[in-house]
Amino acid sequence: MTARQLVAELRLVLRVLLRQPGFWVPTVLFPAMLYAFFGAGLAGTGPAAGYAMASFAIYAVLGVGFYQFGVTVAQDRADPFIRWQRLLPGSAVAPWVARVAAGIGFSAVAMALVLLLGKVLGGVVLSDAGAWLRLVAIALMAALPATLMGTALGSLASERAAAPLANLVFLPLAYLGGLWMPPQLLPETVAAISVWTPTRAMGELAWAALDGRSLPERYLAVLAVWTAIAALITWLAQTRQSKVDFG
Amino acid sequence: MNASLDRPVEANGLGKRFGAVTAIDRLSLHLERGEALGLLGPNGAGKSTALAMLMGLRAPDTGEVRLFGHRPASAAARAMMGVTPQAAGFPEQLTPREVLAYASARRAERVPFDDVVAAFGLAPLIDRRMAGFSGGEVRRVALALAFLGRPGLVFLDEPTAGLDAEAQQAFRAIARDYVVEGGALVLTSHHWDEIEAVCDRITMIDKGRKVMDGTLADIRARMQARRISFALPEGQRPPDWLQAARHGDHWHIESDDSDACLRRMVEEGIGFSGLTIEPLALQDIIARIRPEERP
């Protein structure tokens, strides 16, 4: 994979995406809007305000990585342009890397808007500048498992089913994970499920980063297992798909 | 190195089944440098499957393909071939310049694309987004991409579908130049005149099997048939032995020995007028050969 090809891949992906404002404006604005309506107001001021902002930062990253990526992976399977790209000289991994990088870029913008709103609108005061940086770092790290899970879903679902299916998985996961309301407020049975979800794990890591606590091992493990499952599903689905495509 | 290992296309005993359906059965193909092969056959004959196996988009169940000695879809093979995206396959947010620059950047060395832009008349379109392109305009961009950087081997699936006559002529000239300069070309087409203009050899596939294979020169030589066309005075019918068929106000005969046929027509004093004798078009030759070759 040459740097020249990677630059060309990134330019291609970004051009196509940026020239569809109908795609990226809502994608980037949606988490900030939800945060403004429900997150910032409900959390009030004090430490809870910071937690709520962190939750929606994770939600923003997850939305782009999981939802958008999941849907496009399913759509790309039938795309003749993508098939043509596979026959071009050069690295076959580079287009993939470029798309993940673009996804993380959009995630970062969506997250930045949430953080900005938190500071301006939510009046979030964090203990130190380091807390902002730690939060950003954890949220961006979460983009990778989020993207992998989106890819797993997109590899399994058909083109038409991908968007509704991604909603069906993503929205409950955000709720179950306590990203929309503090996990302490979840009903008991929901709370029991919550601790096993990848979204809760991401949230717990973000909240710990905010406080400057060491990252809880239990949730690192939960997230690692989910990531491994997503990677396995992706691998199985891609192998099966290449039998259909290439076989 | 063994010469056959170095061939642009060397495919032996290809077989492909989809469930109970045999799409391709024991198909062997080869192509030399400086040669254009036309892949023909009715719809559903297996042309697309065969092409997909050659390009490396599908793996054969049996047999194997080598492109310049490399496995299809390998990096080495991809570096030496050019392919068109299927029609309607471009993100409509992009301009031809951007797609060409992208394809150029994927080659080991950046290649200029002024030549293909000029060859396919893309200059007026080059900076327009493809959203509003007609089918023919999209097709011209696709062809430019296939020939970009003059790869050693080019695959074209129905290259001129949707092109106007002028663009079709331009394509034929470019394809011939490319082959004369040593390029290898595999082409599927419904246009017989295009196959005749571009290809040196044809392979005809039906129901997944090769039913005919040969150089165009051979096929024409094997078939000395001519079409004799003439008019008769009002109310007069040609004798039965001529087996003439009526086309408008003319009668047509396809004859393997047009000289003998004509001599007899003169001897019998048939009052023909407006006589023409032409070699059969490739399409008609093949239609005549195929029934003879069927087991």
Positions of chain A with pLDDT under 50? none
Instruction: Give the residue from chain A lying closest to B90, CA to CA.
Output: A81
Put simply, whether B103 touches A (Cβ < 8 Å) is yes
Residues in CB range of B56: below 8 A, 6 or more apart: A87, B65, B67, B71, B72, B73, B74, B77, B78
pLDDT of residue B189 exceeding 60: yes
Does the complex come out with an ipTM higher than 0.90?
A: no
Confidence of residue B1 (pLDDT cuts 50, 70, 90): very low
Q: What is the pTM of this model?
A: 0.81
Residue B30 CB neighbours (<10 A): 16
- Parallel/antiparallel/unpaired status of strands B36-40 and B62-66: unpaired
Q: Nearest CA to B90 among B153, B132, B121?
A: B132
Q: Distance between CA atoms of B187 and B42, rounded to whole angstroms?
A: 14
Q: Distance between CA atoms of A241 and A175, rounded to whole angstroms?
A: 32
Q: Nearest CA to B143 among B155, B126, B129, B130?
A: B155
Query: What pLDDT score does B295 carry?
Result: 41
How far apart are the CA of A246 and the nearest CA of chain B, in angstroms? 4
Q: Distance between CA atoms of B192 and B65, rounded to whole angstroms?
A: 27
> Do A16 and B91 count as a contact with CB atoms less than 8 A apart?
yes
Pair of tokens at residue B51: 């092409």
Put simply, whether B102 touches A (Cβ < 8 Å) is yes
Q: Distance between CA atoms of A62 and A27, rounded to whole angstroms?
A: 11
Put simply, whether B76 touches A (Cβ < 8 Å) is no
Beta-bridged to residue B27, according to DSSP, are: B14
Put simply, whether B78 touches A (Cβ < 8 Å) is yes
Q: Nearest CA to A146 among A177, A117, A170, A115?
A: A170
Query: What pLDDT score does A184 carry?
Result: 87
Sequence letter at residue B189: S
Q: Distance between CA atoms of B284 and A179, rounded to whole angstroms?
A: 72
Pair of tokens at residue B190: 């419904």
Pair of tokens at residue B169: 């002529």
Query: What pLDDT score does A244 carry?
Result: 62
pLDDT of residue B57 exceeding 90: no
User: In chain A, how many domains are there?
Assistant: 1
Residue B13 CB neighbours (<10 A): 12
- Parallel/antiparallel/unpaired status of strands B201-206 and B81-83: unpaired
Residues of chain A in Cβ contact (below 8 Å) with chain B:
4-5, 7-9, 11-12, 15-16, 19-20, 79-81, 83-84, 86-91, 245-247
Average pLDDT score over residue span B113-142: 92
Q: Nearest CA to B121 among B174, B161, B81?
A: B174
Q: Distance between CA atoms of B185 and A22, rounded to whole angstroms?
A: 42
The string of DSSP letters for B98-127 reads HHHHHHHHTSSS----HHHHHHTT-GGGTT
Q: Distance between CA atoms of A124 and A52, rounded to whole angstroms?
A: 9
> Residue A78 sits in which domain range?
3-246
Pair of tokens at residue A163: 């968007």
Best mutation target, B18, B95, B106, to test chain A (most A CBs within 10 A): B106
CATH number belonging to domain B3-215:
3.40.50.300
Put simply, whether B111 touches A (Cβ < 8 Å) is no
Of chain B residues 2-61, which have a CB less than 8 A from chain A? 55-59
> Do A245 and B58 count as a contact with CB atoms less than 8 A apart?
yes
Distances in Å between the alpha carbon of B232 and those of A15, B245, B266, B268? 68, 12, 13, 14
Q: Distance between CA atoms of A199 and A57, rounded to whole angstroms?
A: 12
Q: How many whole angstroms from its chain centre is CA B128?
A: 31
Name the DSSP class of B95.
-
Query: What pLDDT score does B144 carry?
Result: 94
pLDDT of residue B139 exceeding 50: yes
Query: What pLDDT score does B87 carry?
Result: 64
pLDDT in tens, A120-134: 887 787 778 889 999
Q: Which of A16, A20, A80 sits opposite B85 (nearest CB)?
A: A80
pLDDT in tens, B223-279: 677 888 999 888 888 888 888 888 888 888 888 788 888 898 888 888 888 888 887
Query: What pLDDT score does B284 carry?
Result: 75
pLDDT in tens, B208-222: 888 888 888 877 776
Name the DSSP class of B70.
B
